[in-house]
Structure 1
Amino acid sequence: MSATRSFSSAGRFTRGYDPAEVDEFFQAARAAYEREPGAEPLRAADVRRAAFHQVRGGYVTQEVDLALDRLETAFVRQERAENVAAKGQNDWLAMVADRATTLYGRLIRPRGKRFRQANGRGYRISEVDDFLDRLSTFFEDGGEMTADEVRYQTFSSARGKDAYDEGVVDAFLARAIEVLTAVE
């Protein structure tokens, strides 16, 4: 990355991701991806967990988030190519299938019982359950679903008995994204 700004500015009075943190992360990611000598190793999961402070005049968050999504996909593809080259396609598929089985427990639970209820605000249970039904169809019958559909899925806010805890749902969806990205 150059010394110039890598992403658009959110504006002088608008908060966005800290440019120094973002640029440092993307420079390190490029070095890791290109296997530069001395570069710290980085994996797709590390990209998925990347977080940046927000500051006035920072980078537009949506632009950075989309770049992170593309970067995560690139690392997954690199990991898949390396694994297939070293151990074969069947090993990769077995590993992905093993990760997918961690999702089944939630998918087979009854609607309204798939996650713990929110303590306060959370995601509307009916919407999450509808989406998980679609995800279940994908795994069971080969329906259509992409990692981006999961990544960009939104749910309405609800309270108490009508809401699932957001953190637990988000963690589950992150694993689903990992599995779907691995097979795309």
Structure 2
Amino acid sequence: MVSHFDLLAPVYEKLLGPPDPRLWAELLRLPCTGILLDAGGGTGRVSGAMASLVDQVVVSDVSRHMLRRAYVKKGLGAVQSDVATLPFPDGCFQRILVVDALHHFPRQQAALAELTRVLAPGGRLVIEEFDIARLPVKALALFERLLLMGSRFPSVEQILAMIKRCGVRGEIRRDGMAVRVIVDK
């Protein structure tokens, strides 16, 4: 079955534009030694800009078409995987990034449990989601529902509760339409 993201892969980065590498380096406390996981990272749009600031970047996504675009970028490894069942050992990532993807994960609690499992002690997880409390984001959520994307936009309170059930705590940072949850393990 072809997914929405398989269809979007050729134009995905053009639609979203480049990330702000300084912002992400600050949020992730980069540079650092070790491996960065970009969970639900698609084409590696954000993590690709971080590749020189860590020893290795691994992009994990369910869309093979998106991962093909990540794989050809210098410094990025690509693994096709559901975030709720990551094929990595405990504590192997020093940094984990989830950008605009949590609402696409069908099993959000299981995905967050896996992300905290593979996060190394002393590591950092940064989750960026659209703030569903904002009216334009509610319109986006409706649009994605009409497109049958299966998206479920959790509130920041719901994200924090899921994180807490994983045995860690998150710090909230709001920025316009985005909300970021930062977890230090």
Q: Whose helix proportion is higher, 1 or 2? A: 1
Q: Whose strand proportion is higher, 1 or 2? A: 2
TM-score by length of 2: 0.26
Larger radius of gyration: 1
Larger RCO, structure (CA 8 Å, separation 6 or more): 1
TM-score by length of 1: 0.26
